[in-house]
Amino acid sequence: MGAYLTDGQRDFTRALDAMLSAGDTPSAARAWAAGDPGPGRALWGRLAEAGVFALAVPEAYEGGLGVLPPEVALAFTELGRHAVPGPVVETVAVAALLGRLGERGPAKRLLPALAAGGLTATLAVGPGYALDADTAGLVLVADGEELRAAPGHGPVRVSADPVRRLARPAPGGEVLAAGPHVAEAVRYAAGWAALATGAQALGVGYALLDRTVAYVKRRTQFGVAVGSFQSVKHRLADTLLALEFARPLLYGAARSLRTADVAAAKVAAGEAAYRAARTALQLHGAVGYTEELDLALWLRKARPLRDAWGTPARCREQVLGGC
């Protein structure tokens, strides 16, 4: 991936966009939030058929398409644009982690199912919470130099994004790998998670901007469209610039996978999405606060994505560290 996408990458993103548009993803996300993961799992199956979950699986393993971070960045931008529910970021991060462990780990046993979409996964680093542990088929806990599969999880808590829930993994379970190579693989997987989260945030930002532009073209005041006011145009233009500034950073990070590059892309995309959310809320007026409007699906994602897998402060530290 350079400054421009290849024909194959454009076709891939167009195919995902068409598939997710036809799949009524907002309805699947609302059902997921209400405790019915059925429509979301059906969507998950179609994403797996498109190869999304095989993009972080080495070709040496059944179903793997190779380690392809640029395609992951493109795919997750579309997943964010369509508000796809579930532990999609964590599943790809787990695939990257297991692939990094290689034959010393349980990669051969678990990676084919992850690539095929038959297994969903989430990951907790340290003693904290795991996202979507109640719907994931595999809950991994990485603590120091040990990686284990948790036998379950504790009480489920709501998060800032109603579509996602938090739970602490249960203690114990099978130790899948141990040693210094586990800590290195976890750092590698965290980089993939940050990249995918940044891409998802970028997609959320574009979705919010698209819906806001469409709304201000329809809404009238003093007999003219709200979108014709200069102040509104400036606000939308600033939002677009922030998103367009973040996109090449994301593409560059996908090429290098350097920690500092991924952190720069993550913080830029997260802040741009958060700006898009504030713009959308202001320009939609009071209707923007209503949960019934699909806009809420993206509004409630912007801030959690900005902070997940690397807060802005942490990302800036990594950028300054230059590693």
- DSSP letter at 141? E
* Any domain includes 236: yes
315 to each of 267, 305, 306, 311, how far by Cα in Å?
A: 6, 13, 10, 6
Read off the tokens for 319: 């950028």
Q: What is the pLDDT of residues 42-51, one digit of tens each?
A: 999 999 999 9
What integer pLDDT is reported at residue 286 of this predicted model? 82
pLDDT, residue 291, reads: 87
- Please report whether residue 33 resides in a domain: no
Task: Check residue 67 and report its DSSP letter.
Answer: -
Instruction: Over range 97-115, report the average pLDDT.
Output: 89
Cα 59 from Cα 65, distance rounded (Å)? 5
Domain count along the chain:
1
Q: What is the per-residue pLDDT for 267?
A: 97
Comparing 103-107, 124-128, 184-188, 263-267, the range with the smallest average pLDDT is 103-107
Question: Residue 251: inside a domain, yes or no?
Answer: yes
Which DSSP letter does residue 53 get?
G
Query: Residue 245 belongs to what domain range?
Result: 187-321
Q: How far apart are the first and last CA of the chain?
A: 22
Residue 263 lies in a domain: yes
Q: What is the DSSP string of 206-275?
A: HHHHHHHHHHHHH-EETTEEGGGSHHHHHHHHHHHHHHHHHHHHHHHHHHH--HHHHHHHHHHHHHHHHH
In this model, does residue 2 exceed pLDDT 70?
Answer: no
Across 22-56, b (16+ Cβ under 10 Å) vs e yields ebebbebbbbbbeeebebbbebbeebbebbbbbbb
CATH label of the domain that carries residue 206? 1.20.140.10
Confidence (pLDDT) at 317 = 95
- From CA 191, how far away is CA 184, in angstroms rounded? 11
Average pLDDT over residues 253-267: 96
Longest alpha-carbon distance in the chain:
69
pLDDT per residue over 10-19, tens digit each?
999 999 999 9
Confidence of residue 1 (pLDDT cuts 50, 70, 90): low
Q: Averaged over 74-95, what is the pLDDT?
A: 97
Q: How much is the pLDDT for 228?
A: 94
- pLDDT-based confidence at residue 197 (cuts at 50, 70, 90): very high
Q: Are strands 174-178 and 146-149 parallel, antiparallel or unpaired?
A: antiparallel
Token representation of residue 155: 């009480």
Q: Which of 158, 159, 157, 139 is nearest to 149 (CA)?
A: 139
Is 9 contained in some domain? no
pLDDT grade, residue 3 (50/70/90)?
low
- Specify burial of residue 224 (Cβ count, 10 A radius: 0-12, 13-18, 19+): exposed
Report the chain's mean pLDDT, rounded to a whole number: 94
Beta bridge partners of 178: 146
